Amino acid sequence: MSSFLDEIKWTADGLCPAIAQDAQSGKILMMAWMNRESLQLTAQNMVATYWSRSRQALWRKGESSGHTQLVKAIKLDCDADAIVLEVEQLGGIACHTGRQSCFYKTLTDGQWQSTEAVIKDPKDIYS
Protein backbone atom coordinates (compact mmCIF):
# COMPACT_ATOMS: atom_id res chain seq x y z
CA MET A 1 0.00 0.00 0.00
CA SER A 2 1.39 3.39 -1.05
CA SER A 3 1.69 6.18 1.47
CA PHE A 4 0.95 9.85 0.78
CA LEU A 5 4.63 10.36 1.62
CA ASP A 6 5.63 8.36 -1.46
CA GLU A 7 3.91 10.88 -3.73
CA ILE A 8 6.28 13.70 -2.73
CA LYS A 9 9.37 14.47 -4.81
CA TRP A 10 11.89 14.71 -1.99
CA THR A 11 15.25 16.41 -2.61
CA ALA A 12 18.41 14.29 -2.82
CA ASP A 13 18.84 14.77 0.94
CA GLY A 14 15.25 13.67 1.64
CA LEU A 15 13.70 17.08 2.23
CA CYS A 16 10.80 19.13 0.91
CA PRO A 17 10.29 22.89 1.41
CA ALA A 18 7.25 23.78 3.51
CA ILE A 19 5.60 27.19 3.66
CA ALA A 20 3.58 28.07 6.76
CA GLN A 21 0.67 30.35 5.90
CA ASP A 22 -1.80 31.96 8.29
CA ALA A 23 -5.04 30.06 7.71
CA GLN A 24 -7.21 33.15 8.27
CA SER A 25 -5.30 36.02 6.69
CA GLY A 26 -3.33 34.10 4.05
CA LYS A 27 -0.11 35.85 5.14
CA ILE A 28 3.08 33.83 4.57
CA LEU A 29 4.67 33.28 7.97
CA MET A 30 7.78 31.23 7.33
CA MET A 31 9.52 28.58 5.26
CA ALA A 32 11.18 25.52 6.70
CA TRP A 33 12.13 22.02 5.59
CA MET A 34 10.30 18.76 6.20
CA ASN A 35 11.45 15.18 5.88
CA ARG A 36 9.23 12.11 5.77
CA GLU A 37 9.12 11.77 9.55
CA SER A 38 8.32 15.42 10.22
CA LEU A 39 5.50 15.42 7.65
CA GLN A 40 4.13 12.17 9.04
CA LEU A 41 4.14 13.62 12.59
CA THR A 42 2.56 16.85 11.35
CA ALA A 43 -0.23 14.92 9.62
CA GLN A 44 -0.80 12.71 12.69
CA ASN A 45 -0.79 15.45 15.33
CA MET A 46 -1.82 18.49 13.24
CA VAL A 47 0.98 20.46 14.93
CA ALA A 48 3.74 21.72 12.62
CA THR A 49 6.93 19.70 12.93
CA TYR A 50 9.90 20.46 10.71
CA TRP A 51 13.42 19.16 10.05
CA SER A 52 16.19 21.44 11.28
CA ARG A 53 19.08 21.26 8.83
CA SER A 54 21.43 23.05 11.24
CA ARG A 55 20.68 20.71 14.15
CA GLN A 56 19.96 17.64 12.01
CA ALA A 57 16.94 16.95 14.19
CA LEU A 58 13.16 17.12 14.25
CA TRP A 59 11.85 20.50 15.38
CA ARG A 60 8.31 20.99 16.64
CA LYS A 61 7.54 24.64 15.97
CA GLY A 62 7.10 26.38 19.31
CA GLU A 63 8.93 23.81 21.44
CA SER A 64 11.25 26.51 22.84
CA SER A 65 9.32 29.71 22.04
CA GLY A 66 5.79 28.57 22.82
CA HIS A 67 4.73 29.81 19.37
CA THR A 68 3.22 26.53 18.18
CA GLN A 69 1.55 26.19 14.79
CA LEU A 70 -1.76 24.31 14.81
CA VAL A 71 -2.22 22.88 11.33
CA LYS A 72 -5.60 23.39 9.66
CA ALA A 73 -4.68 21.99 6.20
CA ILE A 74 -1.70 20.39 4.45
CA LYS A 75 -1.39 21.11 0.71
CA LEU A 76 0.96 19.79 -1.96
CA ASP A 77 1.77 21.72 -5.14
CA CYS A 78 1.23 20.44 -8.69
CA ASP A 79 4.85 19.29 -9.06
CA ALA A 80 4.66 17.45 -5.70
CA ASP A 81 7.83 19.19 -4.50
CA ALA A 82 6.54 21.92 -2.14
CA ILE A 83 4.14 21.89 0.79
CA VAL A 84 1.92 24.62 2.23
CA LEU A 85 0.73 24.30 5.81
CA GLU A 86 -2.29 26.45 6.62
CA VAL A 87 -1.82 27.17 10.31
CA GLU A 88 -3.12 28.95 13.35
CA GLN A 89 -0.01 30.63 14.73
CA LEU A 90 -0.25 30.62 18.52
CA GLY A 91 1.06 33.82 20.08
CA GLY A 92 0.96 35.56 16.69
CA ILE A 93 4.74 35.23 16.26
CA ALA A 94 6.32 32.86 13.73
CA CYS A 95 9.80 34.39 13.42
CA HIS A 96 12.68 33.89 15.86
CA THR A 97 13.25 37.67 15.58
CA GLY A 98 9.96 38.24 17.43
CA ARG A 99 7.97 39.26 14.34
CA GLN A 100 4.72 37.84 13.00
CA SER A 101 6.42 36.66 9.79
CA CYS A 102 9.94 35.68 8.79
CA PHE A 103 9.31 37.61 5.56
CA TYR A 104 9.58 41.08 7.08
CA LYS A 105 12.00 42.69 4.62
CA THR A 106 10.85 44.36 1.39
CA LEU A 107 13.12 45.40 -1.47
CA THR A 108 12.76 49.16 -1.87
CA ASP A 109 14.99 51.20 -4.18
CA GLY A 110 17.57 48.41 -4.27
CA GLN A 111 17.76 48.04 -0.48
CA TRP A 112 16.14 45.60 1.93
CA GLN A 113 13.91 47.53 4.33
CA SER A 114 12.36 46.09 7.49
CA THR A 115 8.61 46.52 7.10
CA GLU A 116 7.31 44.64 10.12
CA ALA A 117 7.69 45.58 13.77
CA VAL A 118 9.07 43.29 16.46
CA ILE A 119 6.14 42.08 18.56
CA LYS A 120 8.27 40.61 21.33
CA ASP A 121 11.99 40.87 22.00
CA PRO A 122 13.66 37.52 21.26
CA LYS A 123 15.52 37.80 24.61
CA ASP A 124 12.11 37.59 26.30
CA ILE A 125 11.01 34.68 24.12
CA TYR A 126 14.06 32.45 24.47
CA SER A 127 15.16 33.20 28.04
Question: Which residues contact residue 124 at a Cβ distance below 8 angstroms, ignoring those fewer than 6 apart?
Answer: 98
87: CATH: 3.10.20.810
Secondary structure (3-state) at 68: coil
This prediction's pTM: 0.93
Question: What tens digit of pLDDT does each residue of 58-107 get?
Answer: 999 999 899 999 999 999 999 999 999 999 999 999 999 999 999 999 99
Count of other CB atoms within 10 angstroms of residue 1: 3
Q: Please report whether residue 43 resides in a domain.
A: yes
pLDDT tier at 1 (50, 70, 90 boundaries)?
A: low
The C-alpha atoms of residue 48 and residue 61 are separated, in whole angstroms, by: 6
| Residue 126, CB-side half-sphere exposure with 13 Å CA sphere | 9
Number of domains, the chain: 1
